[in-house]
Amino acid sequence: MPRADKVRAPLSFSNDQLGLDLFLDEVCHLVSKHCPDVVNIGMEATGFYWWHLQEALNEIQLKDTEVKIFTINPALIKGFKKSYRKLPRTDHIDAWVIADRLRFGRLRPLHRGSLLYAPLARLTRLRYTMKKNIRSDKNRAISLIFLKFSNFRQAAGRKSFHKASLDMLDEFTADEIAETPLEELVRFVLSHGKGRFAEPEEFVKELKTAARNSYRLNPKMEDAVSVALSMTIENIRFMEGQCKKLDKVIARELQAIPQTLTTIPGICPGRRHHRRNRRCKALRQREGTGSI
């Protein structure tokens, strides 16, 4: 294990390009003075504040000296700090604790290939967050739909969040659905579903029956629930559109990485879309219609 001797007094640097240049100058000065075989540089991966520093340090090339960069989980540093009796919480002490943890070893240094996966990691984390938000908005929409049209989801089933279904909820009340002629509602579903809605007449019949048997919302609540539902549906549609755009970017990033993930059935977007298109074609042939 390396000795824990300090080679100079602590220094502070601003977290910007000027501070980075000064830090690199100091590293080069210490290397030329002490001539080590290896220089280990450790930092806490706190939020996003470490990114530019890590990226710049990863490109350092020193003559006759190997540079290893370690980005350490803050939880690991926090646990290590507890092994000391009591230490004040200052920048200099925190840096010393990081250096001491680095001295103990059993850490994996960053390698240059890690940056190859960084864009994909950022994009997939964003997609995960967006999907969580969509799920949260859909749960909110379900509660609002029950208030506005209590039997709607029983009648609509898996088509509850289809565009035509949501447009109908936005356009009509339960009473209006029950009273509007069947043919008019079928035309509405076909136009708003862009010809991709299977068995619209059966769907509308079930919806009209459900509307007649549903609770009636207090008029004082009706406007507030309708506004809240309309805005929630708008959020869902926007986020789903953003996810589609993001999926294209993720697919492009994935193509640049040597991998075999897309050979697994169900993961490759092309195969998934191909299977869906085959199912749609089979359904059209079975029903004798031009579209669903």
Domain positions in the chain: 17-112, 118-259
Please state the separation of Cα 276 from the chain's center in Å: 24
- Contact assessment for residue 208 and residue 267, using Cβ atoms and an 8 Å cutoff: no
CB neighbour class for 111 (10 Å; exposed up to 12, middle 13-18, buried from 19) = exposed
Q: What are phi and psi of 43, to 5 degrees?
A: -150, 150
What average pLDDT does the structure give for the chain?
A: 85
The predicted-structure confidence for 112-160, as pLDDT tens digits, reads as follows 666 778 889 899 999 999 999 999 999 999 999 999 999 999 888 888 8
Residue 163 neighbours by CB under 8 Å, 6+ apart? 192, 193, 194, 237
pLDDT score at 287? 44
**DSSP-assigned beta bridge partners for residue 239:** none
Q: Which of 150-164, 255-269, 274-288 has the highest mean pLDDT?
A: 150-164
Distance, CA of 206 to CA of 216 (rounded, Å) = 18
Token code pair at residue 256: 């640049």
Token code pair at residue 18: 């000027």
Question: Which letter does DSSP use for residue 90 in this model?
Answer: -
Predicted confidence band at 270 (pLDDT cuts at 50, 70, 90)? low
Options 1.20.1070, 1.20.58, 1.10.287, 3.10.450; CATH of 118-259:
1.10.287
Would you tell me the crossing angle of helices 163-171 and 182-192 to the nearest 10 degrees? 130
Closest CA to 208 of 176, 160, 171, 169: 176
3-state secondary structure of 140: helix
The predicted-structure confidence for 208-260, as pLDDT tens digits, reads as follows 999 999 998 888 898 999 999 999 999 999 999 999 999 999 988 888 888 77
Please state the separation of Cα 5 from the chain's center in Å: 44
Distance, CA of 190 to CA of 216 (rounded, Å) = 27
Residue 126 neighbours by CB under 8 Å, 6+ apart? 246
Q: How many CB atoms lie within 10 A of CB 125?
A: 10
Residue 268 has pLDDT above 80, yes or no: no
- Contact assessment for residue 69 and residue 38, using Cβ atoms and an 8 Å cutoff: no
